[in-house]
Amino acid sequence: MRLVRGRALAAAALLAGAGAGAAAAAREPATAGIPVLMYHEIATDGRAPGETVIALDQFEAQMRWLAENGYRTLSMAELVAVVAGRAPMPPHAVVLNFDDGWKNALNAVPVLERYRMKASFWIIAGKGIGDDYMTWSDVESLARHPGFEVESHTMTHPWDPADNLVTWIENKVPGRNAENARAELVDSKRELERHVKRPVNYLAWPCGWYNEALVRLAVDAGYRALMTAEAGLNVRHGDVLRIKRTFIDGSCGLDDFAMTVRDGRYRVCDRDRAPTLGRAAPSR
């Protein structure tokens, strides 16, 4: 079966005219589609930023940019309604996702509240509770917040390229099979619903890795939409079982962020070179 590799890799092409591109993004109506921006850790400890780490002050600058440029955040239900064709495409819409349930992702909450941003938090319901991750009380508090949602990121987030949901369902890992993959989806939904006291309708694939058999398992488990890690914009009459999401590299500047919001493309940055466009790894 086809393995869809969602985690983006750096491409070679350099971006030119970043500042001009950002200015154009701010001026033009964003109606081509809806970007889903994917964050993980919101750091305050001075760690080097990257694909899954962004400094709190940089994150706040991005939220301020969205607010100042008229962007409206959508809930997951609102996004799914647009992609399914049940709602019109809103101008200047964006969706904010926080994956894995890191404890320091709570640093984002005051910023989100300050700018009245909606957001969803994707929780690893088994291994992702406590220590560096949120506690159940944290998760339950987020679920009670009127602007936030809690959704499923499986029970244990298997992420090894040779040992993950796809290789399990393809019987490539001794002792793992389709039933183990099904349990990751079913048990996480059940456990989250037990804590948040409401339906958990959406699932994000660990590392964005999935295949068609897993999609069928997720639908059978009761999920209404599935989140990939494939960059791009989401359009009306798209596929709610393959919603695109774009990593936000924490080392990229505000101009790069503005262009990503506009075109949904993943950009890889560091302090020593210009940003490059990332792309999904080829299917195998």
pLDDT tens for each residue of 174-228: 999 999 999 999 999 999 999 999 999 999 999 999 999 999 999 999 999 999 9
Q: Evaluate whether residue 3 is within a structural domain.
A: no
Q: Evaluate whether residue 195 is within a structural domain.
A: yes
Q: What is the pLDDT of residue 283?
A: 28
Q: Evaluate whether residue 181 is within a structural domain.
A: yes
Q: How sure is the predictor about 270, in pLDDT bands with cuts at 50, 70 and 90?
A: confident
What's the whole-number mean pLDDT along residues 11-18? Answer: 30
pLDDT tens for 21-67 read 344 434 444 469 999 999 999 999 999 999 999 999 999 999 999 99
Q: Evaluate whether residue 1 is within a structural domain.
A: no
Q: For residues 267 and 249, is the Cβ–Cβ distance under 8 A? A: yes
Q: For residues 258 and 25, is the Cβ–Cβ distance under 8 A? A: yes
Q: Evaluate whether residue 47 is within a structural domain.
A: yes
Domain boundaries, position 42: 8-280
- The count of domains in the chain is 1
Q: Evaluate whether residue 268 is within a structural domain.
A: yes
Q: Evaluate whether residue 130 is within a structural domain.
A: yes
Q: What is the pLDDT of residue 17?
A: 33
Residue 199: give its domain's CATH number: 3.20.20.370
Q: Evaluate whether residue 129 is within a structural domain.
A: yes
> Pairing between strand 267-270 and 273-280?
antiparallel
